[in-house]
Structure formats: structure tokens, C-alpha cells
Amino acid sequence: MRGSSRIVGALALAIPICTPAKPIAFADGTTVMAEYGAGTMKEIQIFYAPEYNYSVGGGHIEYDSVETPASQSITYLRLNYLLHRWNLESAQANIFVWGGAGSATGNAFRGAEFAGNAGAQADYETRRVYASVQTDWEGAADFSHRIDTLQLGIAPYEHDYNRLAAWFLVQARDYTGGLYRGTEWAALLRLFKGGAWVEAGVTNNGKLQAMAMFNF
């Protein structure tokens, strides 16, 4: 237990802020995900993991600034890699990194630009407690966005396999690149069973944040 607390502390300090789903679900697994982020971003992704420690795939993301009229659309390919996993007696902790490239269009520049993306996530999870920090960057010649997310969650009961799991989460999200000024807070309800995961909630501005993910 003392070891677990130390890991939580270390994760909280290690990376600026955090996120939700793992970018690699399991070996020989396909993950399809769609996310709506409080009016500032919409994203869809599909990944295949040949092994438990990496996955490859692609996605499409659209950014809409709430501060300016700027918007961008990026279609990308990405490699996710599990840098390290700690399998503890009743807990698991992971560090993931990812990176890729794609093509971006936007209303503030002409044509398509080469776009890069990179990020990292650290998470710690038991069947009652969840904590993750994530940083995600997408950029091109005419824009650069970084979204840092911290999520802390608690489960009202300990779920088991093939039973519905429920989580209450608090999320803090910080944007750079003019998408949103200040830190955006959100309260979320996460439900998953088998390979299906849905999550929805509201931000401090009363906007919807939602995500759905399917693993098979």
C-alpha cells in the first residue's frame, strides 16, 4: 500500500498533467475511439496492437479555438508504445509514449501542411482508484497545440470481469496554442463492460465532454 502511494505521488510529479483510456488495450486487439472535447476538439482513432506493448493506427482530429476563429483539421498516423508497466498485486501502473505524422488543414493558412504529433501518459489504477496524467501535442508550421490532462477517479464498488464498472472522475485540462484560456475542469462518469467503454460529463463551462471506445 505504501508502495502504491509512492507510485501515485511519483506519477503526479513526473508529467505535467493526464488522460483517460490506454492507447494500447491488449495484444492482438483493435481499439476504436471517438471523443468530443467540450467544443475545442473532436477526434476519432483506430489502432491495432500486434503485441501488448505497442499499437499502430491513425486518426482524425479537429481543433476549434474558443478564444479565436482559428480551427484546424489533422489526419495522422501514430505509433503508441508502452515504455514500462508495473504489475503490482492489486494494481497496475503504466507509462506510454506516442508519436506520428500527418497532414493538416486550417482556416488560417492555405493548403495542407505536414503535421507532427507526440505525447505521453502515465497512469496508476486499482479497482477502486484511478489516476493519470497525459500530455498530447499536435503541431505544424502554422499552429502548435498541447493539451495536458489530469484525471483522478474513484469507483463506488470493485467491478469484476464481465460486470459493469463505474467510475466517477474529476478532470483538469490545460491548453496551450490558443484553444482555451485557463484550466478547464470537468466531472465525468465512466462506464465499461467487456470491450465497451463510454464516458460523459460536463465542464466548468457547462459543455459536454464525451468519449466512446471499443476493444475487440
Partner 1 sequence: MKKLKFMAAALAVLLVSSASAATIEMNVNGLVCAFCAQGIEKRLRKLPATADVVVSLEQRLVAVALKDGQDISDADLRKALTDAGYKVIGIERSDESIAAVRARVKQDKP
- Positions in the binding site for partner 1 (CB under 8 A): 22, 25-29, 51-53, 82, 85-92, 125-127, 158-162, 165, 192-195, 215
CB of 95 to partner 1, least distance (A): 13
Cα R_g (the chain), whole angstroms: 17
Q: Which is nearer to partner 1, 52 or 109 (CB)?
A: 52
Q: Which is nearer to partner 1, 77 or 196 (CB)?
A: 196
CB of 154 to partner 1, least distance (A): 14
For the chain, how many helices (H) and strands (E)?
A: 1, 12
Please report the DSSP string for 164-190 in residue order.
Answer: -EEEEEEEEEEEESSS-SSEEEEEEEE
Any idea how long the chain is? 216
Q: Could you give the C-alpha distances from 57 to 17, 24, 39, 80, 99, in angstroms and in order?
A: 24, 11, 25, 9, 11
Q: Which is nearer to partner 1, 21 or 120 (CB)?
A: 21
CB of 184 to partner 1, least distance (A): 26
CB of 11 to partner 1, least distance (A): 15
Q: Which is nearer to partner 1, 5 or 92 (CB)?
A: 92
Q: Could you give the C-alpha distances from 90 to 1, 45, 86, 190, 194, in angstroms and in order?
A: 9, 30, 11, 20, 19
CB of 40 to partner 1, least distance (A): 27
Q: Could you give the C-alpha distances from 145 to 23, 94, 137, 138, 150, in angstroms and in order?
A: 19, 24, 6, 5, 17
Q: Which is nearer to partner 1, 185 or 214 (CB)?
A: 214
CB of 127 to partner 1, least distance (A): 6
Q: Which is nearer to partner 1, 26 or 185 (CB)?
A: 26
Strand-pairing partners, residue 113, are 104
